[in-house]
Amino acid sequence: MSVVSIARVKDDRVQDAVRQAIEMAGGLEATIPPGSSVLIKPNVVSPSPSGSGKITDARVIEAVAKLVLQRNPGQVVIGEGSSVGYDFPGRKDSMHCLEVSGTAAVARRLGVELVDLNRDERVHVRAEDAFVMEAFAVARAAWEADVIVDLPVIKTHVRTGITCGLKNMKGVLPGDEKKRTHQLGLDRGIVDLNRVVKPHFTLVDAIVGMEGTWQVPEDAVRLGCIVAGTDVVAVDAVCATIAGFDVEQILHVQLAAQEGLGVADLARIEVRGEAIADVARRFKPYQQAARVRFGTAQIVERNACTGCMGEMVSTFIYLDKAGFAHRLADLTLVMGTPEALPEMRGTPVVVGKCARAHRHAGIYVPGCPPHGTAITDGACEALGIDSAVVHAAIEALHDF
């Protein structure tokens, strides 16, 4: 039996809940020997505030880091490689995301080193019996760590249904390798990565999660708990169930169990603390939310990564805020690597480097990924909309 613990956060006492979850899951004594090197890997994919549900709450990171330090490790590093679209050095990169999220302040208070895993030295590794990624690069801080403590958030995902412990490990991949997992097959790429760099302890920030298309604050889901365990597959299986998903339909979790990386069968998982049913809250899947919000637009895509998908969503939001939601029915976007294009309405907007082969089919917006405002400008051109009106709405949304 794998053990997964669920602890409620009572009266906003995050540190108490983290400690309780870790103790119920068996503690850190066997996982973190004195003198070992430890990588704490939160989910800080974007420059979002702590507590938003998009990223790991800084209070959770601090509580875990304090407990790790009590084990007298030789070295502790907090490391993250922000997602595609937030990996531009000196402008929007991992260090910027760690600063905005409050994670950098935690590291300074505790005297712990911060590492941008996108910029860290690369180590080239091989995955035995790989599905799709036989050879790839990972950040040296992850490869050389004796212990990896994985701190994800429960969120929905356009490709994988949910993103939690297994998928959070994608942060140890440099940016181009992140993109390659999408091109080769994301679910299987996640499993291949975890064959090589699998966390030793996973603690999930389930205080606030994200459903739908991750619009803050509309899509925030308040669960008010911490989930923990040494078996990342079992933790993900429990979290998927908490979020109302059938874990048998979450492909990367099932494949990871099939390959012996952990247990996904709830009948073989001992849940300690709160019962799943007592904390469960049905999350709205990404696709369901997208159909409601943006369903009238025609999207032609294959294997588009979350960088382009996220920037595309920004375009929909900008057009909506500018009063042009009714024009989405006339918009066609081409993304990723579709082999052939179907009959399309209007003038299509071809988005990003991966779709470059179809650039002559319409208005091409280059980039990897292109910024949401650039895609928006392409959409305005395709739809005959005054881009100045839309830019005024963008400025009202963001403090530039």
> 12-47, pLDDT tens digit by residue?
999 999 999 999 999 999 999 999 999 999 999 989
Is the CB of residue 87 less than 8 Å from the CB of residue 123?
A: no
169 vs 191: CA distance, rounded Å: 10
Amino acid 399: pLDDT: 43
Cis peptide before 217 (omega within 30 of 0): yes
Can you tell me the distance from the alpha carbon of 266 to that of 238, in angstroms, rounded to the nearest whole number?
A: 7
Say what the pLDDT of residue 86 is. 66
The pair of three-digit structure tokens given for residue 272, joined into one six-digit string? 């300690």
> What is the C-alpha R_g of the chain?
21
φ and ψ at 124, to 5 degrees?
Answer: -90, 125
Catalogue the long-range contacts made by 28-33 (C-beta closer than 8 Å, 24 or more residues apart): 28/67, 28/68, 28/71, 28/201, 29/71, 31/147, 31/200, 31/201, 31/230, 32/68, 32/71, 32/73, 32/147, 32/149, 32/201, 33/71, 33/146
Residue pair 206/234 in contact by the 8 Å Cβ criterion: no
pLDDT the model gives residue 89: 61
Q: How many Cβ atoms from other residues are within 10 Å of residue 345's Cβ?
A: 10
Angle made by CA atoms 223, 227, 231, in degrees to the nearest 5: 150
Nearest to 39 by CA among 67, 5, 65, 58: 65
pTM: 0.84
Sign of the Cα pseudo-torsion (180, 181, 186, 188, in order): positive
For position 197, what pLDDT does the model report?
97
State the greatest distance between any 2 C-alpha atoms of the chain, in Å, as a whole number: 64
Question: For the chain, give me the number of helices (H) and strands (E)?
Answer: 15, 16
- Burial of 72 from C-beta contacts in 10 A (0-12 / 13-18 / 19+): exposed
Strand partners, 205: 153, 226
Sign of CA dihedral 291, 294, 298, 299: negative
Show the low-confidence residues of the chain (pLDDT under 70): 85-91, 295, 397-400
Residue 292 confidence (pLDDT)? 76
Report how far Cα 258 is from the mean position of its chain's Cα atoms.
Answer: 23
